[in-house]
Copies of this chain bind each other. A is one copy, B any other.
Amino acid sequence: MLEGLQRNYGYLFEDDLLKEISEIGTYKKVPEGFIVIDIGEQIKSIPLILSGAIKVMREDEEGNDLILYFVEQGDTCAMTITCCMGETKSEIRAVAETDTRIIMIPIQKMQEWMHKYKSWQSFILQSYHERMKELLEAIDTVAFLKMDERLYKYLRDKAMVNRDDLIKTTHQEIAQDLHTSRVVVSRLLKKLENENKIKLHRNSIKIIDL
């Protein structure tokens, strides 16, 4: 765990803080698809990502899904912070995009360190800022882009966080993330293939010129 911490956060946090994190945080290894935080859940700790990536999703009352953004290693899920500051329940779902290693920090410590470590404070504020920007980008995406553009952006983002231009997924799964239907996804993927932007295979999609 310490080496993962060092690699991702060593340049951010001072040694004292790194030591405290490794002593207090609980290391967790979660498999792809694992729900790290679910909607309505009371937040008791916030996650620092050591490796892998997390997909942040929104769901409305009728069970409609929508991906908001991906969070990568070296990041935290800032939406969580908002929630535990306001002492309310999670508004989002966080799902492991790949096998992911995280450290969970109890919220009391999070607050304590805000005063104790300048670097922690700026990390938290910075994360906040990042996440706010990601939310705005999510709004831009659904509001201003057409479905084929959203799809292409989604594929590229997914390839980025997985560090692999071969995306292993099904059209059905993509449809769920983008809140559309499987047929629409298949249709637009075919169109993207004809435009030489991707190459389709069974259970996988290859991005050309990532």
Q: Number of A interface residues at 8 Å Cβ cutoff, please give it.
A: 28
A131 to chain B, nearest CB (A): 8
Specify which chain B residues have a CB less than 8 angstroms from the CB of A5 in the assembled complex: none
The stretch from A25-33, A80-88, A201-209 touching chain B is A80-88
Q: Is the CB of B139 within 8 A of A58?
A: yes
Cα of A58 to Cα of B85 in the assembled complex, Å: 26
Interface residues of A in 48-73 (CB under 8 A from B): 58, 60, 62, 64, 66, 68
> What's the number of copies of this chain in the assembled complex?
2
Q: Does A79 contact B (CB under 8 A)?
A: yes
Report how far A135 CA is from B126 CA in the complex, Å: 18
Contacts of A128 in B (CB 8 A): 82, 85, 128
B139 touches A66 (CB 8 A): yes
Q: CB-CB contacts of A82-108 with B at 8 A, as 1s and 0s?
A: 100110100110000000000000000
Q: Please report the C-alpha to C-alpha distance between residue A168 and residue B79 in the assembled complex, in whole angstroms.
A: 37
Chain B residues whose C-beta falls within 8 Å of the C-beta of A179 in the assembled complex: 143-144
Contact residues of A with B, CB < 8 Å? 58, 60, 62, 64, 66, 68, 79, 82, 85-86, 88, 91-92, 125-126, 128-129, 132-133, 135-136, 138-140, 142-144, 179
